[in-house]
Structure 1
Amino acid sequence: MDVLLYISALIVAVAFAILVIYLVRTLKSANKTLTHVASTMESLEKQINGITKETEQLLHRTNALADDIQKKSESLNPVFSSVKDLGQSFQQVNQSIQHVSNTITAKTNQQSEQIAQVVQWGQVALDFYEKLKARKKAENSEIN
């Protein structure tokens, strides 16, 4: 019976040794896997840091570009106001010429002997309008 006890102890010892060998192999494999995961995470962290820096630079450039566009847009506002004022001035000149024309027509019907003088004033007004128009056009071309 003692022999049987020794054989059982030997079988248990051999089984325990086999279990320990497989446990060591499993732990070594797990260690390699964890090492690989750690290196992958480190590489991923470096890539994310690079992407973050590039994104920050892009954001700064975008903000600078938006500020530049805003400044240029604001600087164009007076130009548009000037063009609007110029259009109003032309409209007033056109209304004045229309009024003069209407007045000339009415006066012509009333006073036929003053027709020559009115025609001369009309010509002066047209010349003035053309000169004003030419000057405004020259000013606009200098602005642009």
Structure 2
Amino acid sequence: MIIILYLSVAVIAIAFAILVISLMRTLNELKGTMASVSHTLDSLNKQLEGVTGETTMLLHKTNSLAEDIQGKVEKLDTVVNAVQEVGGTVQELNHSLKKVTTSISSSMNRNQEKIAQVVQWGAAFKEIKDKWFGEKGKHESSRKQKSTAPKAIPAPKWERSH
């Protein structure tokens, strides 16, 4: 029985030695993997520093562009408001012109008869004026013909003695 006991202890010792050797190999491989991970993380950290710098620059440029765009939008907003006001003014002007046109049209329709009478009176007045100045012109031309005839010089009525 002691042999069994020694054999058991020997088997346990061999099993423990195999376990330790396996564990050492695993730990060595884990050490290599961890070194590789550490190297990868260092490389990644350096790359992230470069990306972080570029990202910071891009962020500053983006903020600058956003401020510039905001200023231009505010300026454009005033232009849009001015154009809207001009549009409103033009619309009001059109409305006023339509009112005036409608008013004139309705006034002309109401006063069409009076306008026709005024035109007739004007035509009659022109006709009378033409006749008046036509006859007056005839009288003046006959007077001019009489005045253009040579006149006799009257003889002196008395002579002076010296």
Normalising by structure 2, report the TM-score: 0.47
RMSD: 3.5
Q: Point out where structure 1 has 5 or more consecutive residues left out of the alignment.
A: 1-14, 118-144
Partner of residue 91, structure 1: 95
Are 1:65 and 2:69 counterparts?
A: yes
104, 113, 123: which one aligns with 2:108: 104
Letter in 1 for 2:97: V
Alpha-carbon distance change, 100 to 48 in structure 1, aligned in 2, over 3 angstroms: same
Alpha-carbon distance change, 59 to 116 in structure 1, aligned in 2, over 3 angstroms: farther
User: Which is bigger in relative contact order (C-alpha 8 A, separation at least 6)?
Assistant: 1
Map 1:1-144; keep pairs closer than 5 Å.
27=31, 30-109=34-113, 112-114=116-118
Structure showing greater radius of gyration is 2
The number of equivalent residue pairs is 106
State the shift of 1:112 in Å.
4.1
Letter in 2 for 1:50: E
Normalising by structure 1, report the TM-score: 0.52
Letter in 2 for 1:81: E
Q: Deviations over 1:91-117 (max 9, x none)?
A: 212211221221121122467413579
Q: Point out where structure 2 has 5 or more consecutive residues left out of the alignment.
A: 1-16, 122-162
